[in-house]
Structures are given as C-alpha cells and as structure tokens.
Structure 1
Amino acid sequence: MSSDDVAPAAQERPDPAAAAAEAVAKARAAARRAAARAEALRAEHEAKASTDDADAPPGVTSTWDGSAVVVRDDDALEPPGTVRDVVELPSPAQVAREALNRAKAAARERGLRPGMPRKRADFTVRSGPGRDGRDPQLFGSTMSALLRERGWEEEVSVGGAIGRWREVVGDEIADHCTPEHFEDHVLHVRASSTAWATQLKLLTPQLLTRLAAELGEGVVSEVRVQGPVGRSFSRGQRSVKGRGPRDTWG
C-alpha cells in the first residue's frame, strides 16, 4: 500500500479535537448572537417607553404591556430605568461561558476530549531508495550482530578452529591430540599417550602462536594438555586401584 492510499483513509477519520473546537466556536457564536439580541430588545423597550411617556398626559405613565397607570400627585415618580433594571439579564461573558460549558459537556458525551492537542497523522515513509531498518537483512550480517550483542564471538571462533583442528595444528599433532573444550580463554586438549602429552607441553608455545594467528591475540591464552584415559579394571565387589594409564594403553 502506498502513502497516497493511506492519506485519504487517515483524512476520513474524524478528529476529536477538531470536532470539539468546532462545537466551541459554534457555542461562542450563539452566545454573541444572544447578547446582541438582548441589547436590541433593551434598546427597543427603552425607545418605546420614552415615546409612550412623552405622549401620555401629566400624571400618567405607561407600563411595558402598553396599559396606562394614573399616578397620584403625592406619589414620587421614580426616574425611568433600563431593561436590565427590570429584567435581570445575564452578561455576555456569562452567556458565552455557559455556552462553552454546554459544548464541552456535549463533546464528552460523544467520547471527545476538548482541550487535548490535535494528533498529526503519521505519514512517515517506510520504504524508499535508501536502506531501512525494516528491510530484510542478510543472514550473515544478522548472525554477526547477534553474536556481537550476546558476546559469543570468541566461543564461535574457537569452535570454528576446533572444527578445522587438523588445518590449524597440522596432521602430526592432530593424529595424537584432540581438543575437548574451551572455557575462560583456556583450551583443554587430550593427548593419545603420555609421551605425546609430554611432547605437546613442550609444543604449547607453537600451538598458541598458531591459534593467535587463526583467532586473534588473547582469544586463547593457555593450552592445558591432559594425558590419555585408560580402561578401567574395577570389576566386582572387591577391586584394587591400578597405577593409571601408561604408554601401553596409548
């Protein structure tokens, strides 16, 4: 799906913040119209009252409904007031505030949240001519990143050297020496006989040099040579421990 297909779909969804703002604007416009209508009504009543009082005979004044009232001479006639003195009208600010509160309440009933910042649509381009982290990656680069992240590079490199043991140390040593395991920069090897175990201990510096050239300096810091494991003669309930493996069993 392209970004052109995504844009119309994103525009069709109603924006809660925009709807709330539109409702608030309509409420404010209604409040302004109500205030203007109240002022016009007040001016109309004041003009009508002044005209009726001017045309009425002395001692007679008119009421708001147009009827005449006779005022005695001993009654003190109060000066004419405004519509606001007779009818208590709310101020324009109060009308606007009440309309705004009604608009916010209506927006909350529709599930909107007035006052929240408008969320922009995400039009981030996820593909293009350049490389992206979401693009398919090569298996080799992915495995290298995984080994580097988990700290398995040394173990994997030593495992590769053990798999190519004959190529690394040569045929003669490989025929009489077998690597067993690698731990804490120490490579444990097993000799085929005690004579070869002694010989390999003398060849340890050469083995370290070859391993450093193959794996890098410091990967294998020590080579521990172990002698052969002889057959066990412990049979039955009563047995005597032997002298251990000798060259005879190598």
Structure 2
Amino acid sequence: MPDPGAPQTPDEILPETVATYLRLRGLEPSARTYRKRRRRYEDDENAPFTPGRDPKGVGDVLADLTREAGWDSQLAREDVVRTWAEVAGADTAQHTQPVAFTEGTLTVQADSTAWAKQLQLMRSQILSEIVRRYPEAGVEGIRFIGPDVPSWKWGPRAIPGRGPRDTYG
C-alpha cells in the first residue's frame, strides 16, 4: 500500500488510459519525448521563433557589414565628398570641390584665389558642420587651395632653374 504522505506522480493520480492518452498527445512529457525535445532545441541558431531570428532589412545588414569590416570612416569621408553641396552650401559648392583627404585634412580646391581666401575665413563653420554631420569621418582640418596655374616647366627638354622668368623685374 502506498504511503499517504508521499507525493504521487501523475500516473498514479490519473487512470492509466488517461495518462496514456495525454502522453501520446504530447501533453505530458515522458522521458523519451523529453530527450527528443532537448536534442531538438540544442541548436538555437536554426530554431524558429527564437530571439535573433527575425528578418532584417537590407540597410541593417549593410550597416552591420560595414561596421564589422571597419569601413565606417572611409564611407563617412566619401559621404562628405558626396554631400559637399549640403555641407558647404549650394553657392560655395558651385565654386569649390573636395580633391583630397590625407591624415585628417580635407583639401578643397576653389575656382579662384578670392574664393579660397573667403573660404579660409569660413573654415571653422564648414569644419564644425562636417564634424556635426560625419563625426566618424575623422576630419580634423580643412585646407583651401586656389586653382591650378599653368606650369612653365613642360616638355621633354625643360631645364632646371627659373627659366624665362629670370629676366622679370
């Protein structure tokens, strides 16, 4: 006779037919089904409806890829060049263009020396706008240069020295 104070298992409480029915329907775990379920859920990476299995947008996937590859700073510098008209202003962008980025310094070429001088006076405003919009670009300074001037040194037989300008003045 079972001890009345001992805890009873569900098989002892329910009739055998009901316990068998529940076990077959999968409503009551048995040792065999527990092992199957445990094995099935060990691979959480492929299990449906688990955290992290929700589909991601293409933008999120690309953002993760660029961050993991370390491309964020390079892409931010490209964004500065691409959106130069928004950063510097439409009028300024008509007369200037970014030409180089070396060691934290952005080099911008202007149409004339007057524009280059005017932009030197506006340097802090443009630099603060770049840093505000693209902090990961790493822009620490801006250098404004004038237009390319023609060179007196050209051709295969150019000689060193001042050349034809040595008689000026």
Per the normalisation by structure 1, the TM-score is 0.41
Verify: 1:156 aligned to 2:107, yes or no. no
Moved over 4 A (4+): 238-243
Please say which structure displays the higher CA radius of gyration.
Answer: 1
Q: Distance in 1 between matches of 2:158 and 2:136?
A: 51
Q: Report what 1:129 is aligned to.
A: 49
Counterparts of 1:116-195 in structure 2, within 5 Å, are: 122-123=39-40, 124-125=42-43, 126-132=46-52, 137-195=56-114
Equivalent in 148, 162, 166 of residue 229 of structure 1: 148
Once the two structures are TM-superposed, the CA of residue 173 in structure 1 deviates from its matched residue by 1.2
The 8 Å contact of residues 109 and 147 in structure 2, kept in 1 or not, is answered as yes
- The offset of 1:179, in angstroms, is 0.5
1-structure distance, mates of 2:140, 2:83: 19
The one-letter amino acid of 1:208's match is L
With over 3 angstroms needed to count, the CA separation of the structure-2 counterparts of 1:241 and 1:136, relative to structure 1, is farther
SS at match of 1:187: strand
Q: 2 CA distance for matches of 1:198 and 1:156?
A: 29
Task: Say whether residues 1:198 and 2:113 are aligned partners.
Answer: no
The CA deviation string for residues 49-88 of structure 1, in whole angstroms up to 9 with x for no partner, is xxxxxxxxxxxxxxxxxxxxxxxxxxxxxxxxxxxxxxxx
Counterpart CA distance in 2 for 1:226 and 1:147 is 32
* Displacement after TM superposition at 1:207 (Å): 0.8
> Does 2:154 correspond to 1:219?
no
Match of 1:228, SS?
coil
CA shift, 1:136, in A, is 5.5
Q: Is the partner of 1:230 in helix, strand or coil? A: coil
Which residue in the other structure is 1:33 paired with?
A: none
User: For the residues of structure 1 that align with 2:144 and 2:163, how far apart are their CA atoms?
Assistant: 24
Deviations 1:89-135, CA, capped at 9 Å, x for gaps:
xxxxxxxxxxxxxxxxxxxxxxxxxxxxxxxx9533522223446x7
Name the CA shift for 1:242/1:199 in 2 (closer, same or farther; >3 Å). farther
Cα distance, 1:238–1:155 mapped onto 2, change above 3 Å: closer
Residue 120 of structure 2 aligns with an amino acid whose one-letter code is K
Q: Which runs of 5+ in 1 are unaligned?
A: 1-120, 244-250
Counterpart code for 2:102: E
Distance 1:241 1:226 in 2: 25
Preserved CA contact (<8 Å) 2:106 2:142: yes
Query: Unaligned 5+ residue runs, structure 2?
Result: 1-37
Q: 2:76·2:137 contact (CA, 8 Å) conserved in 1?
A: no
What percent identity do the matched residue pairs reach?
30
RMSD: 2.9
TM-score after normalising by structure 2:
0.58
